[in-house]
Amino acid sequence: MTGYIVRRLIGAAFVLFLLTIVVFLMVRSMPGDALIVKLGETGRIPDEQLEELRDEMGLDQPLVVQYVNWFSGLVQLDFGDSLIHEGRDILPYILRALPVTLQLAVYGLAFGLVMGISVGILSAVYRGTAIDLVARGIAVFGLAAPVFWVGLVLILYGSLWFGVSVTRSYVSFADDPWVNTQIMIWPALILGLNLGAQIMRYTRSSMLEVMKQDYIRTASAKGLPGRIVLFRHGLRNAFIPVITLVGTQFAFLLSGSVVLEVLFRLPGLGRLTYEAILTRDYPAIQGAALLIGTFVVLINLLVDLAYGYLDPRVRYG
Amino acid sequence: MATDEHSTVAARGTNPQDDTILAPRRSRIQKLGLIARQNPLAAVATVILITVVAASAAAPIVSPHDPLQHNLGDNFISPGMEYYLGTDNFGRDVLSRLLHGAQLSLFIAFAATFMGVGAGSVIGIVSGFAGGWLDLIIQRFVDAIMAIPGLILLLTLVMIMGAGASSVIVALTIFIIPPSVRIVRGHTMTVSNEAYIDAARVIGASYTRILVRYILPNVFATIIVAASVVIGAVILAEAAIGFLGLGVTEPTPTWGNMLSVGAQQHMEQAPWMAITPGVLIVIVVGAFNLLGDGLRDVLDPRLRGR
């Protein structure tokens, strides 16, 4: 297990390093001067400051030098200066927005897991019945419905259907947990529906696969009650692919939170990034994308470790 | 598809090619009928998709009104006999805009899927077949790109390249290369371990020959399945870009920008503006997903039932 952990840690560190290159190139794939011209077009920055800015961002230097400068800043937790915000340093802005997004992601993940796994099991156990049909219908809808559109419909009809207005101005969890939960619950449910649909499909197929195995027949043949066979022998093994899915879907979850934060006016990292993109605040985009990406890499690392722990074939493979 | 490696050998005998040797010869149409009967959902999905594509191709002929024509006296008319799906804030016919929007949305989706899955397949096959450090570096790069939430990557690229259909296509292409690489690479590795690849090597086939004549035909089914799954995600991503007000801009309609921030302020007054594009997206993406499931069952019997 130790060897496996070390291998995974080195792999994740390497991915993080590549992530900085990708994020850097994503924003700077355009020649530096063109960037400045674009900034000038927005009319927000006076001409004399543009020269200064070009200097400051080192845009006249080769791309490699720019990257090294940026990277050495990152190592010292210097994410760079915003072009828009007062006080310039973007790290505090990002850190303030982070909890909102994490809260949304955790709620969405929790709902997705509960819904996906329970419906997935039902669907597998009652394969071919009306229950299975309804469950698969929900999955098809959950996968095909754009997250933002479900949110839009909920905002339009929420008060009609549920008697509550789903959009209100944001209140943080620390200020008022109850109001905060009422606000977060809707985007979290929508996010969870989408994720839950995927989890449901995986749970169902994984469950059906596992229930065909010899050890399930053995368990039934030696007279264990169906419930024990299902949960202890079936579900435990069926879970493994579902766990990997959660890892790969985490980035996807954060994608969904961009549109939901915009739609529900939540001051999270997704909306911060979106606004940075609209205002061409390049250092802010880089900082936010890098932080979110780092989270995803770390989650995937945890999932890999859990996977290795649960399935010995993986760590010796 | 974590179980690929385990279940390959067992299912070899059910290769579609073997079928054609053993079973009596059937015409293509008979075969299609057989496939459709085994996958009724996929058959229905195909019919829906053909209908939507045909309707969008014929949009200039079949749409009842001009999609761009402002009819200021006729704004916010609810669905009825004159305007089947109602009108928007400028009095433009929603049905006509949907049909014309389908043209651009579907074109963008097909173009990006074709290029992205194509490029991803080439990289994936090379990566999976070469193995070693080349494979390692490519895969870690894929991990790194996929760690950035797709929408942030897409929005940044579109913003840098400027609004418009072509930059959306390029951005979406870049967006789907990494997942395609991952899927195709995994399957290439499985195929590379087959005995017939060793056999080809033994008789002295060159690398290129092995790749083109032995690996490619065997991963082709995976590529098609990947494309049918990816295209749904591409349509959703394109819609999300439009919804956030980037990408293809007004007045040209796409499914995404019909739901954009600009349109949202009128939706209290005219909810049908929000409902119909969304329903259409759900139907089309759902149909592509069902088609993908059906194709996977037919083309890749190993994964049947998954």
Average pLDDT over residues B267-293: 85
Look at residue B8 in the predicted model and tell me its pLDDT: 40
Look at residue A69 in the predicted model and tell me its pLDDT: 81
Question: Residues B105-124: pLDDT tens digits?
Answer: 999 999 999 999 999 999 99
Q: Which residues of A touch B274 (CB under 8 A)?
A: 149, 152-153, 156
Look at residue B12 in the predicted model and tell me its pLDDT: 43
* Averaged confidence pLDDT in chain A: 81
Question: Residues A174-230: pLDDT tens digits?
Answer: 777 888 888 888 899 999 998 999 889 888 888 888 888 888 888 888 888 878 888
Which of the residue ranges A61-75, A158-172, B236-250 would you say has the lowest mean pLDDT? A158-172
Closest CA in chain A for residue B157: A26
How many domains, chain A?
A: 1
Which of the residue ranges A43-57, A279-293, B141-155, B192-206 would you say has the lowest mean pLDDT? A43-57
Three-class SS state of B93: strand
Average pLDDT over residues B148-175: 88
Burial class (CB in 10 A: 0-12, 13-18, 19+), B17: exposed
Phi, psi of A257 (to 5 degrees): -70, -20
pLDDT band at B79 (very low <50, low <70, confident <90, very high): confident
pLDDT over threshold 90, residue B212:
no
Tokens 């819609």, residue?
B239
Q: Which residues of A touch B177 (CB under 8 A)?
A: none
Q: Which residues of A touch B290 (CB under 8 A)?
A: 140
Look at residue A288 in the predicted model and tell me its pLDDT: 87
Q: Which CATH number goes with the domain that contains A262?
A: 1.10.3720.10
Look at residue B177 in the predicted model and tell me its pLDDT: 94
Question: Residues B232-269: pLDDT tens digits?
Answer: 999 999 999 988 888 787 778 888 888 876 667 777 77
CATH for B84-303 is 1.10.3720.10
Cβ(A166)–Cβ(A181) below 8 Å? no
All structural domains of chain B with their residue ranges: 84-303
User: From the CB of residue A268, how many other CB atoms can be counted at a distance below 10 Å?
Assistant: 27
pLDDT band at A235 (very low <50, low <70, confident <90, very high): confident
**Cβ-defined contact of A152 to B267 (cutoff 8 Å):** yes
pLDDT over threshold 50, residue B275:
yes
pLDDT band at A129 (very low <50, low <70, confident <90, very high): confident
Q: Which amino acid is at A306?
A: A
Which of the residue ranges A109-123, A153-167, A298-312 would you say has the lowest mean pLDDT? A153-167
Look at residue A222 in the predicted model and tell me its pLDDT: 87
**Cβ-defined contact of A23 to B278 (cutoff 8 Å):** no
Cβ(B235)–Cβ(B109) below 8 Å? yes
Range of the domain at A189: 1-317
Average pLDDT over residues A255-264: 87
pLDDT over threshold 80, residue B202:
yes
User: Two tokens at B50?
Assistant: 């053909």
Cβ(A25)–Cβ(B147) below 8 Å? no
Question: Residues A92-108: pLDDT tens digits?
Answer: 888 888 889 989 998 99
Look at residue A34 in the predicted model and tell me its pLDDT: 57
Closest CB to A140 among B3, B274, B290: B290
* Averaged confidence pLDDT in chain B: 80
Q: Which residues of B touch A153 (CB under 8 A)?
A: 274-275, 278
**Total beta-carbon pairs less than 8 A apart between chain A and chain B:** 155
Question: Residues A4-46: pLDDT tens digits?
Answer: 888 889 989 999 999 999 888 888 766 555 566 556 666 566 6
Shortest distance, CA B65 to any CA of chain A (angstroms): 25
User: Two tokens at B13?
Assistant: 């005998």
Look at residue B5 in the predicted model and tell me its pLDDT: 40
Closest CB to A146 among B3, B140, B239: B239
Find the distance separating the first CA and the last CA of chain A, reported in whole Å: 12
Interface of B with A in 149-168 (CB under 8 A): 149-153, 155-157, 159-160
**Residue spans of alpha helices (H) in chain A:** 2-28, 32-41, 47-56, 63-75, 91-125, 130-144, 147-162, 177-211, 214-221, 226-228, 236-263, 269-278, 282-310, 312-316
Look at residue B159 in the predicted model and tell me its pLDDT: 84
- Rounded CA separation A73/A156 (Å): 45
Q: Which amino acid is at A94?
A: I
Query: Looking at per-residue confidence, does B176 or B18 come out higher?
Result: B176
User: Which residues, other chains included, contact B168 with Cβ-Cβ below 8 Å and sequence gap of 6+?
Assistant: B108, B112, B158, B238, B241, B247, B248
Closest CA in chain A for residue B158: A277
Strand partners, A2: none
Q: Which residues of A touch B232 (CB under 8 A)?
A: 143-144
Q: Is B92 left (phi over 0), alpha (psi -120 to 50) or beta?
A: beta
ipTM metric: 0.85
Look at residue A37 in the predicted model and tell me its pLDDT: 59
Query: Looking at per-residue confidence, does A17 or A47 come out higher?
Result: A17
CB contact, 8 Å: B274 with chain A? yes
Residue of B186, B185, B230 whose CA lies nearest to A143: B230
Strand partners, A89: A81
- Rounded CA separation A261/A11 (Å): 32
**Cβ-defined contact of B156 to A294 (cutoff 8 Å):** no
Look at residue A41 in the predicted model and tell me its pLDDT: 60
- Among B152, B154, B177, B254, most A C-beta atoms within 10 A, so best to mutate, is B152
Q: Report pTM.
A: 0.85
Look at residue B113 in the predicted model and tell me its pLDDT: 95
Average pLDDT over residues B179-187: 90
Look at residue A40 in the predicted model and tell me its pLDDT: 60
Cβ(B8)–Cβ(B302) below 8 Å? yes
Question: Residues A272-299: pLDDT tens digits?
Answer: 899 888 887 878 888 888 888 988 898 8
Tokens 């952990």, residue?
A5
Closest CB to B289 among A27, A144, A149: A144
Length of chain A: 317
Look at residue A188 in the predicted model and tell me its pLDDT: 92
pLDDT over threshold 50, residue B306:
no
- Rounded CA separation B123/A292 (Å): 26
User: Two tokens at A97?
Assistant: 């927005």
- Rounded CA separation B241/B235 (Å): 10
Look at residue B3 in the predicted model and tell me its pLDDT: 41
User: What is the percentage of chain B residues whose pLDDT exceeds 90?
Assistant: 23
Taking CB atoms within 8 Å and a gap of at least 24, the contacts of A181-187 are: A183/A264, A183/A266, A184/A103, A184/A104, A184/A107, A184/A266, A185/A107, A186/A151, A186/A154, A186/A158, A186/A264, A187/A104, A187/A108, A187/A151, A187/A257, A187/A260, A187/A261, A187/A263, A187/A264, A187/A266
User: What is the percentage of chain A residues whose pLDDT exceeds 70?
Assistant: 84
pLDDT band at B81 (very low <50, low <70, confident <90, very high): low
Question: Residues B18-71: pLDDT tens digits?
Answer: 444 555 566 777 777 777 777 788 888 889 999 988 888 877 777 777 777 777
CB contact, 8 Å: B52 with chain A? no
Residue of A193, A194, A183 whose CA lies nearest to A252: A194
Closest CB to B278 among A149, A208, A288: A149
